[in-house]
Every structure is written in C-alpha cells, then in structure tokens.
Amino acid sequence: MSEDFLIEMGYAGLTGRLKRLSDAFMYQTRDFYREHDSEIEPNWHMIFLLLQKNETMTVTEIADALQLSHPAIVKLINKMKKRGYINSNLDPKDNRRYNLVLSQKAKKELPVLEAYWEAGNKALEEMLEHNTLLLEQLEQLEARMAEADFKTRMDKLLINE
Amino acid sequence: MSEDFLIEMGYAGLTGRLKRLSDAFMYQTRDFYREHDSEIEPNWHMIFLLLQKNETMTVTEIADALQLSHPAIVKLINKMKKRGYINSNLDPKDNRRYNLVLSQKAKKELPVLEAYWEAGNKALEEMLEHNTLLLEQLEQLEARMAEADFKTRMDKLLINE
DNA sequence: TCTAAATATGTAACTGGTTACACAAATGTA
DNA sequence: TACATTTGTGTAACCAGTTACATATTTAGA
C-alpha cells in the first residue's frame, strides 16, 4: 500500500501536493524565524526584495509584481507597518496613493535577514539538487495557466466528452 | 522589467509560486463546480476516491493517507456529512472510531462527478503537455523534504555561513 | 467645466489549512 | 486488576489567501 495517496492519484493529486508543499515551506519558515527570535514573517521576504530593488512602491504596484490580489498586500503591509518595518507616505501628487518604503529599522536588520535568506536559498538549491528543472516546469505550467486557465480547459474538455 | 517578480526571484520565489498555483487551481475548481450547479467542493475529490477504493475509513486513516492534519479532515468530513455525502457509523469494536462511508446520494452522483474529474485530469495533462516531468520533480522535492525538512536545512546552512 | 469612468485603497465575509489543547476509549504493564 | 500511556476525535484560535463591496481621488470626454 502506498504511503501517499495524493501521489498515487497522479494528475488529480497535483493541486493538493502543491498546497501541501507550499504550506510546509511556509510553516517551517515561520518556525525558523521564531526560533531565531525574529519578528519577521515568511512572505515579507518578497516585499523586502521588491522595496530594496525599487525604493518605493504602492500597494497596487506590489500586487501586480507579485500577482496577488491587492487585499492580500494590504494585509501584509499593515502588519509590516505595525511592526515598524515599512513607512507609508501619502503621494503629494496623487492623494489616493501611498508610497511605501522600508523603514530605518528594516534597513538596519537587513544584514541579518540576508543571512537567513541566503540559508533559505541554499537549502532550496540543495533540495532541488542544484538544478532548475522544477522551476522550469513550474514556469511552463504558469504560462499554460496564463494562456487558458484550468476552469476554461475543464469546461471545454467536458463538453467534448 | 519582468512581469512576475516571484519568477525573477529564482529559488526564493518557489514557495510563493507553489501557493499561488495551488490557490488558482482551487478557486477555479470551485467556480467550475458552482457553475455546474454542483454542491461538491474542490478537495472532496480525494475523499471520494479514497472511500471508493477502501469502502470505509476513519478520520485518522484519511489524514494519514493524504498526509494532512486530522483537524483538516474533520472539517472536510463534517461538511460532507452535513451535505449528505458521507455516513458515519460508530465502530462497534472500538467506540473511539467512526467508520466513514459514501452515502447513497454520493454513489448516485458518482457518474456525473467522474465526468468532471475526467475533464480535470485531461485539462491537467494538457497543461503539463502530456508528460510527467513536473510530477516527478515534485516527488523528488517531497522526498527531500521527508529526509530533512526545510527548516532543519536552513539551520544547518546558517551555522556554516 | 461638469460628470462619468477608472484607479487606489480599504473592509467584510469566506476558505482551507495549521498547532495546541481537551477528553474519552482502548491498550499495555506492574 | 488498576493505572499510565496511547490513540481517535473534536474544538479553539490563528494564518494567508480569495471575492465582493465601499469610498475617495483622479482622469477623460461631451
């Protein structure tokens, strides 16, 4: 008897396995930060990197860059603001927008965080056995999803059944 | 400028991409069922398949087979019971256990559901271009995760930094 | 110039996972 | 046989995403 029914399910188990894996990464990353007495949370990483690269961005720009919904970003940013990692300034030219920047506190902590992230990258490389096959396969799947999403394809294939 | 910062991030973007993809599959599957006026929810699929294969199972057995926590299964099963898709009988030999089986209603709907699942499988095969490379790569990653989890590896690699 | 449409942000309700805890029943052992 | 341990189920509080809706500001066009 197989140990893992989702794997046994083949194609049909894919979705569940993606969820299970991403959850596992998330919870373990959270534990890692906690055990290192860091206030940082798992997916602040991508916000930090974006704001390092671009200096200042708005909620909508971040949502676009990460391809997440804007309420997801609002929640993330609010927590980072509350903890003092992000400053938000009303745009003087457009009073709808808030320009978000990393705070001094965030910048001061960056060296420590970068050591963590470097360890994370190395751990991932190790787990992927230093090749990018999985990343490439994922990128193809993302591209297929962008061309025609899963639901559209299901509908089409159901009609022709 | 890249369209998708998570892809640009390389290894570090992997977790977010897994989450994004699995969420997309989940929401689209949910929409598919809704538009076909089905009461079924996305991950009931795996429960149906398990109970077809094994006739009767307990919460704990299902949790083991799917490698999810037992409270996750309790929630799923409760909803399926409420909608009348699962019957639960106290085990006469062990009064802690409830033997779960598909209800008559569930069995009656199976042909329709199987048509949906077949469409889903075909759609996934199409998106994976009829090869199992992604599934194999995922299985390797799952195996690495089982050998030594992400957090353990991060800790080890941080110390040697 | 006035107003309709588009854009930026924020809020509410929902979903499907998690860990931590509680408790009853069964099992194993002194 | 009694009691400690293990096992099965259930509940509570939390988390990170979603869609749908609300509101304010800016932009565009008659």
Cβ of A72 < 7 Å from strand D? Answer: yes
Contacts of A111 in chain B (CB under 8 A): none
Has residue A125 been placed in a domain? Answer: no
pLDDT tens digit sequence for B36-80: 999 999 999 999 999 999 999 999 999 999 999 999 999 999 999
Are B106 and B152 part of one and the same domain? no
Task: Among A18, A28, A123, select the one facing B21 at the smallest CB separation.
Answer: A18
Separation of CA A31 and C1' D3 in angstroms?
A: 37
Are A7 and A59 part of one and the same domain? no
Can you read off the two tokens belonging to residue B48? 């149906």
Domain holding A23, by residue range, is: 1-37
Region A13-24: what's the mean pLDDT?
94
Tell me, what DSSP letter sits at residue B10? G
Are A31 and A55 part of one and the same domain? no
**% of chain A exceeding 70 in pLDDT:** 97
To the nearest whole Å, the CA of A89 is away from the closest chain B CA by: 23
Has residue A127 been placed in a domain? Answer: no
pLDDT tens digit sequence for A95-147: 999 999 999 999 999 999 999 999 999 999 999 989 999 999 999 999 999 99
pLDDT tens digit sequence for B141-159: 999 999 998 999 999 998 6
Q: CA separation (Å) from A69 to A100, A138, A143, B34, B73?
A: 17, 20, 19, 22, 28
Does residue A74 carry a pLDDT above 70? Answer: yes
Cα–Cα distance for residue pair A98/A60, rounded to 1 Å:
10
Cβ of B74 < 7 Å from strand D? Answer: yes
Has residue A121 been placed in a domain? Answer: no
Neighbours of A32 (CB within 10 A): 23
Question: Domain of A45: which CATH number?
Answer: 1.10.10.10
- Radius of gyration over alpha carbons of chain A, in Å? 19
Res. B3 pLDDT band, cuts 50 70 90 = confident
Collapsing DSSP states into helix, strand and coil, what is residue A5? helix
Are B81 and B11 part of one and the same domain? no
The reported pLDDT for the residue numbered A160 is 54
Has residue A126 been placed in a domain? Answer: no
Q: At what angle do helices B150-159 and A104-127 cross, to 10 degrees?
A: 110
**% of chain B exceeding 90 in pLDDT:** 89
Separation of CA B63 and C1' D13 in angstroms?
A: 21
Are B115 and B69 part of one and the same domain? yes
Res. A15 pLDDT band, cuts 50 70 90 = very high
Length of chain A: 161
Res. A159 pLDDT band, cuts 50 70 90 = low
The reported pLDDT for the residue numbered B160 is 54
Can you read off the two tokens belonging to residue A80? 């980072």
Cα–Cα distance for residue pair A106/A87, rounded to 1 Å:
10
The reported pLDDT for the residue numbered A1 is 37
pLDDT tens digit sequence for B100-136: 999 999 999 999 999 999 999 999 999 998 999 999 9
The reported pLDDT for the residue numbered B10 is 87
A 125-144 residues with CB below 8 A of B? 125-129, 133-135, 137-142, 144
To the nearest whole Å, the CA of B107 is away from the closest chain A CA by: 20
Task: Among B19, B128, B154, select the one facing A141 at the smallest CB separation.
Answer: B128
Please name the residues in contact with A141: beta carbons below 8 A apart, sequence gap of 6 or more.
B21, B127, B128, B134
Best residue in A21, A44, A64, A152 for a mutation probing chain B (most B CBs within 10 Å): A21
State which residue has its Cα closest to the C1' atom of D11: B71
Tally of domains within chain B: 3
